[in-house]
Amino acid sequence: MRLRCLIPALLLTLQPRPFAHAAATPSPDKLLPASAFAVLTVPNYAQWQERFSANPMMGLWKDPSMKPFVDKFTGKFQSEVISKLEQQFGVKLSDYSSLAQGQVTLAWLSKGPDAKPGDPAPFVFLLDAGSKSDQLKKSLEDLRKKWVSAGRETRPEKIRGVEFTTLLFQDAELKKTLDTVFPRKDKDADEPPAAKKGNKSEGDKDAGKNKDKDKEEAPSPRHEWLVGQSESLLVLGNSAKDLERILALQSGGSGETLSESPNFAAWRDSILRPADYYLYGNLQEVLALLKKELANVADAGGQGRRKGNPGGSPLQWVDGFGLGAIRAFAYAGRNGPDGGYGDLKIAIPESERVGLVRMFAFESKESSPPDFVPDDVLSFSRSRADIQKAFQVLEDTLTKVIPQSASLIKMVMDSAGKEKDPSFDLRKSLFGNLGDDMMHYSRASKEKTVEALSSQPSIHLVGAKNPEQLMTAIRTVTVLLSGQGGRKEREFLGHKVLVLGMPDSTDSVSITTHGGYLVVSQDPALLEEYLRSSEKKPKALRDATGLSDDAQKVKGMSTGMFGYFNGRESARAQFEVLKKESGSVANFVASLPIASTFGWDEDAKAFKDWFDFSLVPSFDKVSKFFYRSVYAGEFTPQGFDLRLYSPKPPASAP
């Protein structure tokens, strides 16, 4: 968890600077060997800088009205995180962030066949300094000197004629350093001395001493990181063999590269090379490692392999639920003059889809907002998944992975509701009446509280083949599950509405049918608004100016999945709540795991020292930086594609 705290530090130090041309270093896919199974890269950092500078969120961050808030946050972050990290590691982060001209790449590689149990996964970090090669050389020499002067161990090494310095350290050293930067409060610190000493027996004391002794004697894992410079390229990694392969590829040597991996090659020209940044993962390699670990655990403890184990084993679940069919994934993002684009691809060959993967697959069908969806919604989503088919796949999967569940499922399906109605058929009446259309949309809450932000009024609609039969089945099922308690019915505009009380809550869920849909909502007012829509048509979202054009950027509204998000109105609500309910926000953050890292769990004022939302401007001053976004997804024979598009806010155009 604490290592994750380093990420914001790196992001804030990599601030955009004037455009500079990168040196002629091979692209990440040509520089990394085919064994790279996870890659996060900015292929051309200088180009990313130029494009990101035009991003609306960067405009928001630099807007004069945000300056008081931004200055207070960045000042605190600099003093409490960046400065402490630099002091502890003897490195000035800005010295390195200012060097990036070409690629900035982080990759994990497969372990070799000679790897020993417990060996860490090989990784490599690459930064192309371009024309700042001399400055990089000086920074690395300063790093070596500071590392030695701090009493840390180093070792010189040469790989293919390139000078490397091996930095040697143990987990305990890293933990001690991070504890200095991110001190955590000792949970036992507030206990009185008597409580700490306790009334322990001599046996307890001896056991405690032995435990402490074992803990002290347990060797801390040792790490060896190699850092060096090859031409303009900063190279950091923990495997000399892998670094040698990368240096060979850099100099034009032969060898299989990431660009030749089948899935990477399939996506390279369409989304990866044009991207400002991308994340790629070979999930077959990840699954192979996972299966190996699960097999070792099963062999060691006999878990999941004994006859009659009703739950099956995690190893069986991986293949039984269809996860083994997932080959690879990639997410690529880029900023264009008209807005931001995102592409997510998951390779799942159609012929291999089983289990949950097959369950969630859907056909390409109309997925635009119907005319009853109003244009002022905060969000809208629609998927054409066949729910009846999905349930059948789920049932088949469970009986295959957990054979003992077959008899239980059959008993429930055959007996449910028979006591009150011998002709009742749960499978036919409930699941047999579900269609292939699911929708959801939400509205802005009238309440301006932190709680309201996380639970905006929303409505869910599920296609129904026979709405009346489906409603009858739901009544039967709800009686079986909860009896008559907390259950009532009311009528609105001729529609019978089933109202179910939520356990341990004053909230309730309203269920009815209308227009060929099963309608579910926790907000009675929104439900009634929907039921009125057949009499008084609202101004429809589908007719919103420019929405159809935006949708074409993600291949339209007929791919089987389409979604919309109103970023401007959502941000408006957030700004109002942050200014009004800063105390509630601090209390909420205090409950999060990261809060103790910065002392936010002890004092609400400590959080305000970082995030003083009273300094945030009124939303009207920054509304021009927010707009809407759309997305669309589809299943192809090769896998699943999800495309996102956030058009540039009209008001923020120069």
Q: Which of 198-207, 497-506, 584-593 has the lowest mean pLDDT?
A: 198-207
Tens of pLDDT, residues 51-93: 988 899 999 999 999 999 999 999 999 988 888 887 777 777 7
Number of H helices, E strands in the chain: 27, 20
User: Quick one: which H or E segment has residue 156?
Assistant: strand 153-159
Nearest Cα to Cα of residue 437 among 468, 467, 398: 467
438: number of CA atoms within 13 Å, CB side? 11
604 Rama sector, left if φ>0, alpha if ψ -120 to 50, beta otherwise: alpha
Q: How far apart are CA 375 and CA 176, in angstroms?
A: 54
Q: How far apart are the first and last CA of the chain?
A: 41
591's tokens: 């409950």
- pLDDT category of residue 411 using cuts at 50, 70 and 90: confident
Backbone φ and ψ of 77, nearest 5°: -65, -40
For the residues of 368-430, what is the DSSP string, one character each?
SPPTTSBTT-SEEEEE---HHHHHHHHHHHHHHHSTTHHHHHHHHHHHTTTTT-TT--HHHHT
- DSSP assignment of 443-487, as one string? ---SS-SHHHHHS--EEEEEEESSHHHHHHHHHHHHHHHHTTTTE
Tell me if 551 sits within 8 A of 652, measured CB to CB. Answer: no
Question: What are the angstrom distances between the C-alpha of 153 and each of 148, 166, 175, 347, 372?
Answer: 7, 8, 17, 45, 69
Of all residues in the chain, what percent carry a pLDDT higher than 70? 84
Residue 328's pLDDT band, with cuts at 50, 70 and 90, is very high
Report which of 309, 516, 505 is spatially closest to residue 433, judged by C-alpha positions: 516
Highest mean pLDDT among 104-113, 399-408, 477-486, 543-552: 543-552
The pLDDT assigned to 1 comes to 41
Alpha-carbon dihedral angle through residues 36, 41, 45, 49, given to the nearest 10 degrees: 180
Quote the CA–CA distance of 157 and 241 in Å, as a whole number.
13
Residue 448 vs residue 558, higher pLDDT: 558
CA distance 438 to 216: 57
Every domain of the chain and the residues it spans: 3-184+203-260, 348-591+623-652
Q: Are 103 and 28 in contact (CB under 8 A)?
A: yes
C-beta of residue 616 within 8 angstroms of C-beta of residue 575: yes
Residue 61 and residue 594 in contact, taking contact as beta carbons nearer than 8 Å = no
Kind of pairing between the strands at 339-347 and 517-521: unpaired
Q: Which residues of 223-233 are buried (b: 16+ CB within 10 A; e: fewer)?
A: ebbbbbbbebb
The beta strands (E) that lie in 495-616 are given as 495-501, 508-514, 517-521, 561-566
Mean per-residue pLDDT over the chain, rounded: 84
The closest of 96, 93, 122 to 32, measured between CA atoms, is 122
Residue 163: pLDDT above 90? yes
pLDDT at 212: 53
C-alpha to C-alpha distances, 562 to 366, 382, 441, nearest whole angstrom? 9, 5, 12
Q: Please check the confidence at residue 409 and state whether its pLDDT lies above 70.
A: yes
In this prediction, residue 342 carries a pLDDT of: 97
Indicate whether 436 pLDDT > 70. yes
Q: How many CB atoms lie within 10 A of CB 187?
A: 8
Q: Which residue has the higher pLDDT, 117 or 54?
A: 54
Name residues whose C-beta falls within 8 Å of residue 506's C-beta, 6 or more positions apart in sequence.
none
The whole-number pLDDT of residue 562 equals: 98
Task: Specify the pLDDT at position 204.
Answer: 53
Cα 346 to Cα 328: distance, rounded to the nearest angstrom: 6
Confidence class of residue 605 from pLDDT cuts 50, 70 and 90?
Answer: confident
The helix (run of H) or strand (run of E) holding residue 162 is strand 162-170
**Residue 334 · residue 625 · CB < 8 Å:** no
